[in-house]
Structure 1
């Protein structure tokens, strides 16, 4: 059991420190939409991770098939990242007060949209699919109980790391000027477009 826990911690830390478009978007969502918006976004990411882990462990053949079509998934992910990047680079407007804190008036539908974006961005990320497929294959020789411990621990640590990013970003947001928040939006857009283009060229 201790061995399984250590594997889960290692896996969770690896996922938590991995750098990709999702990391920057988590921070950006928190800066734009406050703590609740950031938490809604990572809730979508977390749900997609849970679903992918379950599918990877129960339907290895299905994930193998998805891996065989990773070029299609990569293309979808690239287009999605580029479109979102273009939106944040050129069209996204952030409402802020004179102190730099945003005037946030969201309803349930707005949070649902943020949640859905987090879910879609993560579930169509070919890197995440390959990550969970690889790890589930690696630990396939472990007992069911050990695999539950491994992946539950990993998912918990990844979620905790994302929550920490949201809280840190929200504290930073209170100290930012409207111009700086706008520039961060533009930087996030450039990063997303860059990741989308790189994924296309790596196919």
Structure 2
């Protein structure tokens, strides 16, 4: 079951539309597939840092069962809010945002992915929601928790590389309409995850 839950959450996260998504596509189109892979690696490491921050930020509360219900509700609210934001994004015209990172050399693309993913406070908030869902609703801990997030990160990394590859091959399909559809799918899925946490804590 941990594999299925990790796979589902990873797929939802993989199509989450934001600055990172556009940076990945833009890098692949303008600089090539190999550079986009480096950006994806940077995004991966940034998420790993935030997952650890989310865990250690919640760990002292998770051990105390009297906080579990409130953590569950908070996680549900976070996921629902992200879902609503995603649905609102689907109504706006999507544009690729150009961002630059002033670092030279081989590692600049890894740094670019790391920084652009890391500068958004919503990334940490999102992982806090995911962490509360994993620990409170699913009851994961120790190796199972590591496996859950490991599966999510593997799915995200694979799909990021796939996005970078397809960005050049299927450039004509990357349209505002596609982004609108993806935003709706992600929004509905995140709201469903959030509501499920409320039902679990009811």
What is the TM-score with the length of structure 1 in the denominator?
A: 0.57
**Does 2:183 match 1:185?**
yes
Map 1:25-40 → 2, pairs under 5 A = 25-29=13-17, 31-34=21-24, 35=36
* Runs of 5+ consecutive residues of structure 2 not aligned to the other structure: 25-35, 102-111
Which residue does the alignment assign to 2:158?
164
Describe the SS at the equivalent of 2:94: coil
The count of aligned residue pairs is 170
Q: TM-score w.r.t. structure 2 length?
A: 0.57
Q: Deviations over 1:109-141 (max 9, x none)?
A: 754344x333211212331232785323xxxxx
1:130 corresponds to which residue? 136
> Which protein is bigger by CA-based radius of gyration?
1
CA distance in 1, matches of 2:87, 2:148: 33
* Runs of 4+ with >6 A deviation: 150-154
Gaps of 5+ in 1: 1-9, 96-102, 137-146
Task: Pick closer, same or farther for the CA change 1:23–1:110 going to 2, 3 Å.
Answer: same
What CA distance in whole angstroms lies between the structure 2 residues aligned with 1:63 and 1:133?
Answer: 13
- Quote the Cα distance in structure 1 between the aligned partners of 2:145 and 2:94: 38
Further displaced range: 33-42 or 84-93: 33-42
